[in-house]
Amino acid sequence: MTLFEAIILTIITASTPLLIAAIGELVVERAGVLNLGVEGMMVVGAAAGIAAAISTGSSGFGVLVAVLAGMALSLVFAALVLGLAANQVAAGLALALLGLGLSGVIGAPFVGVQRAGIGKIEVPLVSEILVIGPVLFHQDPFVYASIALVIAVWWFLRKSRAGLVLRAVGENHAAAHALGYPVRRIRLLAILFGGGCAGLAGAYMSLVLTPFWTSGMTAGRGWIALAIVVFASWLPFRAMIGAYLFGALTILQLHAQSAGVPLPSQFLAALPYLITILVLVLIMRERRGGAAGPASLGVPFVPDR
């Protein structure tokens, strides 16, 4: 395998958990809810996933448990934010903290326990093609799942009626409520989906990326997923570009020094965040004074009747 191929593969592995978490959060935000607790849901998924996988010996079961763990935590978030109309910033941070803590407690007995990671799927013949073969057709199931998720979310938001209703709820929850749509139920489903994706992303980290558990192994990827959603202007395919951009920059800045790039590696690492800020400003200008992203984002919804 050439260095180039190796770099591409590491970029894919770095970007996949970002993409899965980001696409979930994208749906949540399109429905008008800002979930700052993604990091907590990811890491709790990672811990629960590996705990289940080691205890039962089944990776598949581990993945399922990870998704459920992410959903369970996001259910608590939904209870606070939808049921009690709590401040979304505070609630998200509470969940991030809870998730980080719970993950450490769940994962403590399993620290350092190694297990075989989930293997890659190899599509016969096609994966023999030089260069793109291994890249496109010899990947672990999560990578394929992440692409499938992006396409599914794109289709859902753009082409389906349910997706249209979700976008309307995120845009103007008062008008949606007046038209008779169940705003809180829709947001609940979106939050659960986001939690499940975060859990899945966490499972990737503990079952594939580094198949053992260390405390805090998500290392801030949940926060980066939030940045990717903004960078993507809340559009699914742009989220894919954003995730791969962030992933690529993370990997490349490790190699940049040895490759003789004159820029400090930290500057390269900071680029995605600076670009995200730029994007935030530019979308505002595009809308000429409208809202950036879903207009109801972060606003608590209290139905008057």
Partner 1 sequence: MRLVMERRRETPISLMLISPMIAVALTMISAAIMFALLGKNPVAALQTYFLDPLSDSWGLQEVAVKATPLVLIAVGLAVCYRAKVWNIGAEGQFLFGAMAGGYIAIITHGSTQGPGLLPVMLLAGAVAGACFAVIPALLRTHFGANEILSSLMLVYVAELLLDYLVRGPWRDPAGFNMPNSVVFEAEATLPLLMAGGRINIGTPIMIAVVFGFMLLMGRTLKGFEIRLVGEAPRAARFAGFSETRLIITVFMISGALAGLAGVLEAAGTVKQLQPGISPGYGFTAIIVAFLGRLNPIGCLFAGIFIAITFIGGENAQIMLRMPLDATRVLQGLLLFFVLVCDSMLLYRFRLLRGAAA
Partner 2 sequence: MARGMDHAPEKGYTPVMQASPPLLAAEGITRRFGALVANNAVDLKVAPGEIHALLGENGAGKSTLVKIIYGLLRPDAGRLVWRGAPVQVETPRAARALGIGMVFQHFSLFEALTVAENIALALDGAGALEDIADRLAETSCAYGLPLDPRREVWRLSVGERQRVEIMRCLMQDPSLLILDEPTSVLTPQEAEGLFATLARLRADGHSVLYISHKLEEVRRICEAATILRRGQVVAHCDPRAETAASLARMMMGGDVVPIRHDVIEAQGPVRLAVSALSLPPLHAHGIALDRICLQLRAGEVLGIAGVAGNGQDELFAALSGEELAPHDAAIIMDGVAVGRAGINERRRRGAAFVPEERLGHGVAPAMRLTENALLSGHATNGFLCRGLVDRAKLADFVGKVVRAFDVRKGPADPEARALSGGNLQKFVIGREIERKPGLLIVAQPSWGVDAGAAATIRQALMDLARARSAVLVISQDLDELLEISDRLCVMFTGRLSPAMPAAKATRESLGLLMGGAGMAA
Residues at the interface with partner 1 (CB under 8 A): 34, 36, 40, 76, 80, 83-87, 89-91, 93-105, 108, 180, 182, 215, 223, 226-227, 230, 264, 266-267, 269-270, 273-274, 276-277, 280-281, 284-285, 289, 291-293, 297-298, 302, 305
Joined tokens for residue 271:
């680029």
Joined tokens for residue 114:
């190694």
Give the number of other Cβ atoms within 10 Å of residue 72's Cβ: 18
Give the number of other Cβ atoms within 10 Å of residue 123's Cβ: 13
Q: Which does 102 bind (CB under 5 to 8 A by kind): partner 2, partner 1, none?
A: partner 1
In the bound state with partner 2, the residue whose beta carbon lies nearer, of 112 and 180, is 180
* 202: nearest Cα among 297, 96, 55: 96
Q: Which does 90 bind (CB under 5 to 8 A by kind): partner 1, partner 2, none?
A: partner 1
Joined tokens for residue 16:
């996949």
Give the number of other Cβ atoms within 10 Å of residue 121's Cβ: 13
Q: How far is the CB of 299 from partner 2 (least distance, A)?
A: 14
- DSSP-based three-state secondary structure for 77: helix
What type of residue sits at position 302? V
Q: How far is the CB of 79 from partner 2 (least distance, A)?
A: 25
Where does this chain bind partner 2 (CB under 8 A)? 159, 161, 164-165, 167-168, 171-172, 174-176, 178-181, 287-288, 290-291, 294-295
Q: Which does 97 bind (CB under 5 to 8 A by kind): partner 2, partner 1, none?
A: partner 1
- DSSP-based three-state secondary structure for 220: coil
In the bound state with partner 2, the residue whose beta carbon lies nearer, of 175 and 278, is 175
Could you tell me the sign of the dihedral formed by the alpha carbons of 243, 189, 56, 59, in that order?
A: negative
Q: Which does 11 bind (CB under 5 to 8 A by kind): partner 2, partner 1, none?
A: none
In the bound state with partner 1, the residue whose beta carbon lies nearer, of 139 and 276, is 276
Q: Which does 264 bind (CB under 5 to 8 A by kind): partner 1, partner 2, none?
A: partner 1
- Four-point Cα dihedral 296, 297, 302, 305, nearest 10: 40
